[in-house]
Structure 1
Amino acid sequence: MKNIAKKYSKRQPKIKAEMSGKGLTVHAGLLPVLNFMGKLMFRERVHEAVHKDRGANARYQFVDAVQMVVIGLIAGATSMVEVMKVCTDEVLKKMSGWKEVPVDTTIGRIMKLASQGDIVELTGVIHRFRGKIWKRAVRSGHKLRSALCEVWIDVDSTVDGVYGKQEGAEVGYNPHKKGQKAYHPLMAFIAETKEVLHSWFRCGSAYTSNGVVEFMKECMAYMNKGVRVVFRGDSGFFTGELLEYLESIAKPHNK
């Protein structure tokens, strides 16, 4: 029996694996994102909105930092260190035109140059991008055109716990870890297109409905004229002030 087993047994060959190819990337899915950014003229629009020129001799400009952070976040990065790991990919560098990629502390320092007013301007750029994309989508398909006549806005809040001394983090309602400091952002989504329409950064002690009326006013300002909006949220948002506002802007629905 042993002889039969020995006769038909085969030794596992030793295979050596090595990366010898050039021009390979593990982030191939980001290449269409870079092409899409180019079609939207992402860099030009960000530069027009926020003038943060760091001088002709500066290796990196504010728009470089913004693009790198956006690319990193799309790739799943959750910190500046991870953003830089993504952006150091040689294929991405060549496709994006980045000659060099800075260290995470440099990117963080550049991003801190942005003021509250700059953030508002960047938010406006996002919504102008949305309008441009919606126009293209409407031209290309009847289904989406019909959907955008009426949209459902889903409003929700989420608790994001943090460790250490993080600016703006406070102890509040935290179902995951009681007593932990956290952030409690408020977010709005468009159900039909799966887009993040708007978001507010809030401290962890903020109640669910804090500021929701002003938040919805900003959401409505971002919507195209003639679009019927249906609000959807859990019971924590249904305060008297919000209901009064929604009723004040309500339009008759013809069945």
Structure 2
Amino acid sequence: MKHEEESTRADRVGQVQITFTNKQLTAWGGACSVVAKFLERIRFREWVLEHMPVEERSPNAKGVYEKVLALLLTSLTGGTRFSHVTWWSHGMGGLKACFGVVWLPQATSVLTRFFGKFRQRHNEALRTAAVGLAGTLIEAEKITQDTLILDSTVCERYGVQEGARKGYNPKKPGRPSHHPLKAGLGSGYVVNLWNRRGDTHTAHQCVTFYDQTCRELPRGLRIGWILADSGFGEEGFLEHLEGEKQRYVIALRLTAYVLSAIRGISGWKLLEKGLEVAEVTVALSTWKKARRLIVIRQHVPTRPKASGKQPMLFRELEEHREYRYSVLVTHETTLSPEEIWRTYRPRAHEENCIKELKEGYGWHEFNVHSFWGTEAAMLLIGMVCYNLVHHLNRQVLKTAEEGVARLKTLRLKVLAIPAIYGSGGRRPTLRLGVQDRGLRAKIHYWLHRIHRLDLRLFNCNAVALPVTAKV
């Protein structure tokens, strides 16, 4: 009796008894309502079944769509690796019913085996489909002119993965990594992704990457400017853009030849306090002709958060030691140096996009031993999942004028809403645990806006769908 009394007291918090329930409870009621409604409205299941290149022929195979959906749910709920597939598995009955499936993976090996089947030919088909999806979303917003932004990043790897090599890695030198390329638009959509070996030079195959990106963009979309980081400032790429008469602004590395050109500048134009700009026309050692350089320098004592770099060579020169420098190259001659600099400034949004992919979606950490399997996961998260959430955010959850919230914010305010799944009035019912009337009104508003979306990723009834879950 004494043991039973102690056990009963131990299962209390103050005067509150701790017990258990078999009801279908989930912490992701917002995902089950808003995201599930959005995917149903745009017919995402049919799009996956039509475009997913890997076929499962085993009689025991459960389904491709369910595995793609599991990856997206893992990313949306904060997972950063395949083993986090169990994070959202509580209340599985409600998840299955809302997303219209009869089964969802609950083991890491289900997803890793699936992505281990991808090969290069599969990824080419998947990339084409993902670019087509991005084009559909862009056309739905009636975007006819935009800026193409090219960038590269480093994804550190732990363990043994194909293509993981020691290369350029400023944060963790010597750590094996992959070195992907990314193309995005000023409107925020990702329109191309390549995974590459970690020891690959940034400019390697950049012309091919650019040509593929432009070739697969929507026909009605006109690119006004090409903005790129310093990895694209190579002679071959600049010549290619100039041959196509495409306007560009690209950052340059502060090499010895660039620093020599900066030291030769005598006249600086003051734009703001502590911010100056100048220009010089020079032919660098690796260039066949002279090009226009725009040099921006910021006075560090005046602007402590100044961007740019402070070269070691300049730290001993009194005239330059207190400044941070950035250098841009362009062949545009009609705009002033200030206008060129302001044209390039939106490229900072691409850095924020990569940061969001890594910190919000865990894009860089989903990997398997297979190089192509890792790239397939990067394509699904970095293009399909990211673009869908970006479109949902711009068109439903927040307007473009209000700005776009990060996924971490959406996860806390929209996706992570506790809910109970059961029946009410002989109908399957998801009861969201929301007491605030304002939030209830917002959720009703979001669902009605999704219902009115004029967006279909798939317009054919040729694909047979599995039977949905029943209560």
> Do both share a fold (TM > 0.5)?
yes
Residue 243 of structure 1 aligns to a residue whose secondary structure is: helix
Task: State yes or no: 1:243 paired with 2:245.
Answer: no
Q: What is the number of residues matched between the two proteins? A: 233
Residue 186 of structure 1 contacts residue 201 of structure 1 at CA under 8 Å; is this kept in 2?
yes
Deviation readout 1:25-62 (Å, 9 max, x if unpaired): 2223423223222233222222223261334x425122
In structure 1, C-alpha distance between the alignment counterparts of 2:89 and 2:145, rounded to whole Å: 39
Q: CA 1:135–1:156 in 2, change beyond 3 Å: closer, same or farther?
A: closer
Deviation readout 1:202-248 (Å, 9 max, x if unpaired): 11111121111111111102222243311111222111221222223
Q: CA 1:19–1:240 in 2, change beyond 3 Å: closer, same or farther?
A: farther
Residue 182 of structure 1 contacts residue 203 of structure 1 at CA under 8 Å; is this kept in 2?
yes
Task: State yes or no: 1:67 paired with 2:61.
Answer: no
TM superposition shift of 1:162: 1.7
TM superposition shift of 1:181: 0.9
Q: Which amino acid aligns with 1:81?
A: S
TM superposition shift of 1:72: 1.7
In structure 2, C-alpha distance between the alignment counterparts of 1:251 and 1:174, rounded to whole Å: 31
State, as a whole percentage, how many aligned pairs show the same letter. 25
Tell me the residue number matched to 2:118.
Answer: 114
In structure 1, C-alpha distance between the alignment counterparts of 2:45 and 2:150, rounded to whole Å: 30
Q: How does 1:19-168 map to 2 (within 5 A)?
A: 20=21, 22-31=23-32, 32-49=34-51, 50=53, 52-55=55-58, 57-87=59-89, 89-90=91-92, 91-96=94-99, 97-138=101-142, 148-168=143-163
Q: Which amino acid aligns with 1:117?
A: R
Flag structure 1 segments of 5+ consecutive residues without an equivalent. 1-11, 139-147
Flag structure 2 segments of 5+ consecutive residues without an equivalent. 1-12, 248-331, 336-471
Q: Which amino acid aligns with 1:136?
A: A
In structure 1, C-alpha distance between the alignment counterparts of 2:241 and 2:207, rounded to whole Å: 9
Q: CA 1:28–1:211 in 2, change beyond 3 Å: closer, same or farther?
A: farther
Deviation readout 1:104-137 (Å, 9 max, x if unpaired): 1122112222332222222222222223223332
Bigger radius of gyration among the two: 2
Q: CA RMSD in A?
A: 2.8
Residue 156 of structure 2 contacts residue 177 of structure 2 at CA under 8 Å; is this kept in 1?
yes
In structure 1, C-alpha distance between the alignment counterparts of 2:73 and 2:104, rounded to whole Å: 15
Residue 181 of structure 2 contacts residue 195 of structure 2 at CA under 8 Å; is this kept in 1?
yes
In structure 2, C-alpha distance between the alignment counterparts of 1:68 and 1:156, rounded to whole Å: 29
Higher strand share: 2
Q: CA 1:22–1:69 in 2, change beyond 3 Å: closer, same or farther?
A: same
In structure 2, C-alpha distance between the alignment counterparts of 1:65 and 1:80, rounded to whole Å: 11
In structure 1, C-alpha distance between the alignment counterparts of 2:246 and 2:173, rounded to whole Å: 43
Residue 250 of structure 1 aligns to a residue whose secondary structure is: coil
Residue 156 of structure 1 contacts residue 186 of structure 1 at CA under 8 Å; is this kept in 2?
yes
TM superposition shift of 1:199: 0.9
Structure 1 stretch displaced more, 208-217 or 59-68:
59-68
Q: Which amino acid aligns with 1:52?
A: E
Greater relative contact order (Cα < 8 A, sep 6+): 2
Deviation readout 1:58-103 (Å, 9 max, x if unpaired): 2512232122112222333211111343355422222221334241
Q: CA 1:30–1:239 in 2, change beyond 3 Å: closer, same or farther?
A: same
In structure 1, C-alpha distance between the alignment counterparts of 2:131 and 2:35, rounded to whole Å: 18
Residue 205 of structure 1 aligns to a residue whose secondary structure is: coil
Higher helix share: 1
Structure 1 stretch displaced more, 36-45 or 21-30:
21-30
TM-score, length basis structure 2 = 0.45
In structure 2, C-alpha distance between the alignment counterparts of 1:59 and 1:103, rounded to whole Å: 14
Deviation readout 1:159-209 (Å, 9 max, x if unpaired): 1212222221100111111211111111112121x1221111011111121
Task: State yes or no: 1:198 paired with 2:186.
Answer: no
In structure 2, C-alpha distance between the alignment counterparts of 1:198 and 1:75, rounded to whole Å: 24
Residue 155 of structure 2 contacts residue 177 of structure 2 at CA under 8 Å; is this kept in 1?
yes
In structure 1, C-alpha distance between the alignment counterparts of 2:56 and 2:168, rounded to whole Å: 41
Task: State yes or no: 1:174 paired with 2:178.
Answer: no
Structure 1 stretch displaced more, 195-204 or 120-129:
120-129
Residue 62 of structure 2 contacts residue 103 of structure 2 at CA under 8 Å; is this kept in 1?
no
